[in-house]
């Protein structure tokens, strides 16, 4: 009997270790009020803690000093639905870092030092409903495909960042969007803002503060005015303004026309030259026949 027990001890230890990792082990300096919640708020952490249970569903990491998230961080936590990283020191997110979290519903990245939301940052996080990206004062760029795949997203917060312009195509892949916060950004009311203004006017019901809660700077003096005081006529001068894409199309079209004209001229000249040679050959044959 004793040899059997000794033989089973390694397996029992392995099973016990697995159970602890799956839900009964809590990282040091954190609280685990239940088997699916890990609360590490305000612990002065400088990195994501180790030994997080694999079946964690709510992970609270706000009010720390975490500067980055490992690119494979969410690979193991397939049950995670709530992730709070508010008020940390995050400066960038590697593309695809959050794309593996298929069940994530709530994500808070507010009050960090993010400078850019690049394309494919969130990948195909189709379950994400609420995304907080506000209060990142250095955030000045949002990639064209940053929110592509977030088909369930209902609430998007981009307030109090450093955005001066936002391509309206960034918002088009969000069919479920119900609430959008954009107030507190240093928007510039120039021609690059005109299309976003039209979109905001058509979707003003999605703005919690309304059009009057969003301000922009008017050229040339930089005077800030609420969007509610503007109209599409305010951007009337932009209707004849060409974008970079328009200029490229014009240049390409001009080059294509020039090449086509050169080829046509060359073909026409070659044809005329051939006819002249044939004509001279025919006259020579007639003269030889008369002789």
Phi, psi of 217 (to 5 degrees): -95, 130
pTM for the predicted model, two decimal places: 0.74
Name the helix (H) or strand (E) containing 187.
strand 187-188
For residue 12, what are the CA distances in angstroms to 2, 26, 30, 54, 90? 15, 21, 27, 19, 41
Q: Where are the alpha helices (DSSP H) in the chain?
A: 2-19, 194-202, 244-290
Burial 216-245 (b: 16+ CB within 10 A, else e): bbbeeeeeeeebeebeeebbeebeeeeeee
Contact call for residues 170 and 147 (beta carbons, < 8 A): yes
Q: Is 26 exposed, middle or buried (0-12, 13-18, 19+ CB in 10 A)?
A: buried
CA atoms within 13 A on the CB side of 91: 1
For the CA atoms of the chain, what is the radius of gyration?
Answer: 32
Compute the distance between CA of residue 77 and CA of residue 56 in angstroms, rounded to an integer.
Answer: 7
How many residues would you count in the chain? 291
Strands 37-39 and 31-34: antiparallel
Phi, psi of 204 (to 5 degrees): -60, -25
Select from 103, 73, 75 the least CA-distant residue to 90.
73
Q: How far is CA 246 from the centre of its chain?
A: 24
pLDDT at 172: 92
Residues in contact with 54: Cβ distance below 8 Å, sequence separation at least 6, in sequence order: 21, 22, 23, 76, 77, 79
Across the 291 residues of the chain, what is the mean pLDDT of every consecutive 10-residue run?
Answer: 45 39 74 96 95 95 95 85 97 80 91 93 87 98 92 97 96 96 96 94 96 93 93 82 46 59 68 64 56 51
């Amino acid at each position: 009997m004793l040899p059997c027990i000794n033989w089973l001890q390694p397996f029992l230890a392995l099973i016990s270790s697995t159970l602890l990792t799956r839900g009964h082990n809590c990282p040091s300096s954190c609280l685990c009020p239940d088997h699916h919640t890990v609360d590490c708020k305000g612990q002065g952490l400088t990195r994501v803690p180790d030994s997080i249970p694999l079946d964690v569903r709510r992970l609270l990491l706000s009010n720390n000093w975490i500067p980055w998230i490992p690119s494979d961080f969410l690979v193991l936590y397939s049950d995670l639905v709530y992730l709070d990283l508010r008020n940390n020191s995050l400066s960038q997110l590697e593309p695809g870092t959050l794309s593996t979290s298929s069940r994530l519903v709530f994500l808070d990245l507010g009050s960090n030092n993010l400078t850019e939301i690049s394309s494919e940052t969130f990948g195909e996080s189709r379950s994400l409903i609420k995304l907080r990206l506000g209060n990142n004062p250095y955030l000045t760029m949002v990639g064209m495909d940053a929110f592509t795949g977030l088909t369930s997203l209902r609430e998007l917060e981009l307030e109090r960042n450093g955005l001066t312009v936002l391509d309206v195509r960034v918002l088009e892949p969000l069919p479920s969007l119900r609430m959008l916060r954009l107030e507190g950004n240093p928007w510039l009311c120039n021609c690059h803002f005109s299309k976003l203004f039209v979109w905001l006017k058509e979707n003003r019901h999605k703005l919690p503060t309304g059009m009057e809660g969003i301000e922009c700077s008017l050229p040339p003096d930089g005077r800030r005015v609420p969007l509610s005081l503007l109209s599409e006529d305010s951007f009337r001068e932009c209707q004849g303004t060409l974008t970079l894409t328009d200029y490229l199309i014009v240049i390409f079209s001009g080059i294509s026309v020039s090449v086509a004209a050169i080829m046509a001229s060359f073909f026409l000249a070659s044809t005329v030259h051939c006819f002249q040679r044939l004509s001279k050959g025919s006259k020579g044959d007639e003269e030889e026949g008369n002789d």
